[in-house]
Every structure is written in structure tokens, then in C-alpha cells.
Structure 1
Amino acid sequence: MELGLKGRRALVTGSTAGIGLATARTLAREGARVTVNGRTSERVQSTVDALRAELPGSAVDGIAADLSTASGCDELLLRVPEVDVLVNNVGIFEPKPFEQIPDADWLRFFETNVLSGVRLSRHYVGGMRSRDWGRIVFVSSESALQIPTEMIHYGMTKTAQLAIARGLAETLVGTGVTVNSVLPGPTASEGVGGFVAKMAADRGVDAGTVEKEFFASARPSSVIQRFATPDEVAAMIAYVCSAQASATTGAALRVDGGVLRSIA
């Protein structure tokens, strides 16, 4: 399917690994001019170089900025004042018992996972509205609807993203700008892969065994009974960024492997 993204300027936050990197790669493959973002110059440049090598002729650049702070967002916005496609992907997670989560952690998670997307969307939406075309995507999680008891602060931020995306979509009635959320389920991102590998090493078993046990005990409702790949999630994100998704807005689209027991 032709996604109609050739020449569109796209920014994918938190895109040096995992879902963000897979999304940047997919958009670049579709002909978009993609800006990669990460916290360190070395990691960003390495990602840009790898994508250019993999996709000769692609238009990929990068900006190192810590989007967990207002100053980091401002730095990025100065260098990339306009985009057609914004994928708010940057995020952090950390399992921690509720009674051990201090105020500082609640604020850190909210700043990174929620306010980064708010700040960037607030800046870019005006230009999208004036051009009557734009795509804003919040990469949320199934944890937005099924709050994980081991990281309630993370689940809270993912739910907040859904509210922001839906509310913002409703401010754009009658325009060519869409705003959607994508809800991945358990995904084999860099962080998850490292966590699984460490658990496997600590127990002297292979990663496949840990994955099987995880779905048996922690996510038994999963239909696919495996981690999704970042590319599988990126395919959904790329679609809602496309010209073909012009009638999809204000939606929360699941790529969760069926883990949520719901028909809607």
C-alpha cells in the first residue's frame, strides 16, 4: 500500500532503539524525511548512520535532546520548527512497588512520558492546522487500560496520553489533521530484551523459557503468547501516520497481541 508519505517531514521521539527506531525506519522507507531523536549525540549519530546505510537515498537526520525537560523540548523545537508527522514515542518504565514510588518518580515519569508529547504537540499543531494536514501519534500501551500493579506510575502516564490524544483530536474538527494513540502490548524492545536476558542468565535458563513463563503467569490472556516485534508495532504507527488513514482520528488502536480481553 502506498502510504502517501513521500517528502513529509516526520519526527519520531525516542527513536534510537525499539519501537521508535522501527518506526523511524518504516517512515524513512516510505519516503518521509525523518528526524531521529535520543538523549546522546553518539547514540543519535550511530542510528542515523545505520539507517542511511540500510536505506540508501533516504532523508534521515538526528537531534540529541533530553525531552524529559522543557529546555530539552525547546532545544529540539528550535532546530525542527515544523513537521508534518509527530510520533510521541519517548518513554520510560520501571517496576517498583507502589509504596516505594516517591514524588520525584511520579514527576519524572509524567515529565518524560506525558509532558514531552504535550509540549511538542502544542508547538506543531498550529502549523499542521494552517496547512490542513498533519499526523500526531501518541505511543501509549495496553498498560493504559490494564494498569500494571508493579508500575502504577507508568500506567498512569499511559492513560493520560489517551486523554490528551482524544481531547486534541476533538479540537481539530473538520481539518486534515488527525491525532491517535497506538497501544502496544508486551514488545521485544531493547529494554524488555535486556530485562529478559538478565532474568534468564540469573536463573540459568534460555530467554525463550523466560518469555513462555512470562505469558503463562503475567499475561495469560495474550492471544499470540509471545512478545510482539518493534516492526509489528511500527507498521500500525506508520499506517496512522499515512494519507490512507485520513478517517482515523481520536482512536486508541491496539497492537497488543489480544492481551486485553475486550471486543472494542
Structure 2
Amino acid sequence: MEIRLDGKTALVSASTGGIGFAIAKGLAECGAKVILNGRSEQSTERAKQALLAELPDAKLETVAADLSDAQGCQTLIDSVSDVDILVNNAGIYGPLDFFETDDQTWENYWQTNVMSGVRLSKALVKSMQDKGWGRVVFISSESSRNIPSDMVHYGVTKTAQLALSRGLAKRLAGSGVTVNSVLPGPTLSDGFRAMVDEEVKRSGKSVEQVAKEFIAANRPSSVIQRAATVEEVANMVVYVCSQQSAATSGASLRVDGGVVDDIA
């Protein structure tokens, strides 16, 4: 199966590193024009140059906008005209005890993880409807179904993304626009690498080994018993952005290594 996205324009939010960058690269490799987004001009330009170093013929644009509030989302919306693919990847996470999580923290997570996707979808999906073709993907998490006790605030927002994705898919039924969620599990992203950096330095172990030990201790239900790579997550996203995935909509697609312990 060869996936081609020539003539399509894709917007990937928060795509200057980690999973978002890998998704942007995967879409560009398939011929799509990709709009990169990050919080600053420096980060977006750095991501663009990194992609061009690997894919000299890639068609890339950049928009700097912080999607943690309505104003930042509007900045991004005003900077793009017509997209065929929207990947809602913007998100924040971090451990914090439920009883120490104040209202402002809840609000910050809600605005970034949920409302950024709401705002971008409201603004950009109607043109997909008019064309009769489009792809919307929400990057959720296995934490949406396997709520971490030390990140309840995060898990709640990721579960909300599943409801948002399913509801929007039903709203767009029969339009030619599909909407899906992708649920990564523990992944060797920039954020995860930063989280285990001290342990890597202290132990002298590789990031991969520290990740494997983290999963054994904290996600013992993992079937693959290792962290996924960002490319493995991106592969699923590229597929659901393709013409080949036309019969898949309203789905929650797990790339969690089997962490969620059920057969659904």
C-alpha cells in the first residue's frame, strides 16, 4: 500500500518536536504540504530547517502561535486559508496530585488539550465539508482510558478528546470528512526524554532502557514491553489521514503497545 497525499494541505499543531514533528515529517513524505506550528518563530523555523535537511523537496509553511488560549488559536486560524487535514496534537502533561491541582491548572489543561482542538476544528472543517473530503485527527492518549492516578487532570482532558472526536465524526456523517482519535502509550517523545533525563545521567543507562524499566514498573500491562517510537505513532496518524482510511471514522485507534487491558 502506497499512501500519497499530493495536492493536500495538512496543519499539524504543536509540530516542532516529538510526535507532532514525526507526524509532520510523515505527511510531508507522502507529498502533502505541511503547516508547522509552534509557540515561537524560532522553534517553527528550526523545525522547518530540520525537516528540509531530511526532505529537501518538502512543501512547508510555518505559523507561530501559542494554542493555550483563544487569541493564540485565532492567530493560527487567521494565518491559514484552506486545509484538507487537521491534526490536533497540541497538548501539555505532567504529574500532579489531585488534591494539589488548583483550578487554574485544570483550566490551563482544558484550554490547551481540549479547546485548541475545538477552536481549530470549528474554523477549518467547514471548508473540508464544502470540498467533500477531509481528515481530522485528535492526538489523545492511552491515559484517556487508563486514567493515571498522578495525572487525573491530564486524563480527564484526554477522555474529553475522545468524546469530542466521536461527536464531531457523527456531526460530519456522510460528508467525506473523517474524524478519529489516535491514542499513543508511553512514547520516546521529547517530553518523555526530558522526564527521564536525570535518571539517564545518574544511571548511565540508555533512554530506551530507562523507558523499558519505567514501563515495567508503571505500565506492566504493556504487551510490547517497551516504549513506542514517535515514528510508530506517526505511522498510524498518516494512515488515518489517507484516502485508504476512508471507511474509518469515529474511531479511537490505540498505539499504546497494548497497555490498555481490554480487547476493544
Instruction: State the TM-score, normalizing by the size of structure 1.
Output: 0.97
Distance 2:49 2:4 in 1: 25
User: For residue 200 of structure 2, what is the aligned residue in structure 1?
Assistant: 200
Rounded to whole Å, the distance in 2 between the matches of 1:199 and 1:65 is 33
**Aligned partners of 2:2, 2:33: CA distance in 1, in Å?**
16
Partner of 1:131: 131
Superimposed CA distance per residue, residues 73-104 of structure 1 (whole angstroms, 9 cap, x where no aligned partner): 11111110221000000110010111110000
Mapping of residues 47-126 of structure 1, within 5 Å: 47-126=47-126
Deviation at 1:206, TM superposition (A): 1.5
8 Å Cα contact 1:19/1:230 also seen in 2 = yes
C-alpha displacement of 1:3: 2.0
Computed over aligned residues only, the root mean square deviation of the Cα atoms, in angstroms, reads: 1.0
Q: How does 1:33-52 map to 2 (within 5 A)?
A: 33-52=33-52
Deviation at 1:209, TM superposition (A): 4.5
How much does 1:212 deviate? 3.1
Instruction: Check 1:210–1:2 CA distance in 2 against 1; reply closer, same or farther (3 A cut).
Output: closer
Q: Which amino acid counterpart does residue 214 of structure 1 have in structure 2? A: F
Paired amino acid for 1:260? V
Moved over 4 A (4+): none
Instruction: State the Cα distance separating 1:205 from its structure 2 match.
Output: 4.3
Aligned residue type for 1:235: N
Structure 1 position 216, deviation (Å): 1.7
Paired-residue identity, %:
54
Query: 5+ unaligned residues in a row in structure 2: which ranges?
Result: none
- The 8 Å contact of residues 166 and 251 in structure 2, kept in 1 or not, is answered as yes
The one-letter code matched in structure 2 to 1:111 is Q
**Deviation sequence 1:83-126 (CA, Å, 0-9, x none):** 10000001100101111100000000000000000000011111
Query: Shift in Å at residue 18 of structure 1?
Result: 0.6
Mapping of residues 230-249 of structure 1, within 5 Å: 230-249=230-249
Instruction: Find the counterpart in structure 2 of residue 215 from structure 1.
Output: 215
* Alignment-derived partner of residue 144 in structure 1: 144
Question: Partner amino acid for 2:233?
Answer: V
Whether the 8 Å contact between 1:23 and 1:237 is mirrored in structure 2 is yes
Distance 1:118 1:52 in 2: 30
Letter in 1 for 2:203: G
Tell me the distance in 1 between the aligned counterparts of 2:224 and 2:209: 16
SS at match of 1:210: helix
Measure, in 1, the Cα distance between the counterparts of 2:231 and 2:141: 16
Q: Distance in 2 between matches of 1:233 and 1:213?
A: 20
| Structure 1, unpaired ranges of 5+ | none
Partner of 2:4: 4
- Deviation of 1:149 after TM superposition, in Å, equals 0.5
SS in 2 for 1:237: helix
Give the conservation status (yes or no) of the 8 Å contact 2:31–2:58: yes
1:160 aligns with 2:160: yes
Please, what TM-score do these two structures have when normalized by structure 2?
A: 0.97
Aligned residue identity for 1:99: F
Would the aligned equivalents of 1:138 and 1:180 in 2 still touch at CA under 8 Å? yes
Please say if residues 140 and 161 of structure 1, whose CA atoms lie closer than 8 Å, have aligned partners that are also in contact: yes
What is the aligned partner in structure 1 of residue 24 from structure 2?
A: 24
CA distance in 1, matches of 2:142, 2:212: 19
Amino acid across the alignment from 2:76: L
The Cα of 1:247 is off from its aligned counterpart by: 0.4
- Counterpart-to-counterpart distance in 2, 1:194 and 1:104: 24
Matched pairs, number: 263
- The reply to whether residue 250 of structure 1 matches residue 250 of structure 2 is yes
Partners of 1:242 and 1:98 in 2: how far apart? 39
Structure-2 separation of matches of 1:108 and 1:234: 26
**1:4·1:244 contact (CA, 8 Å) conserved in 2?**
no
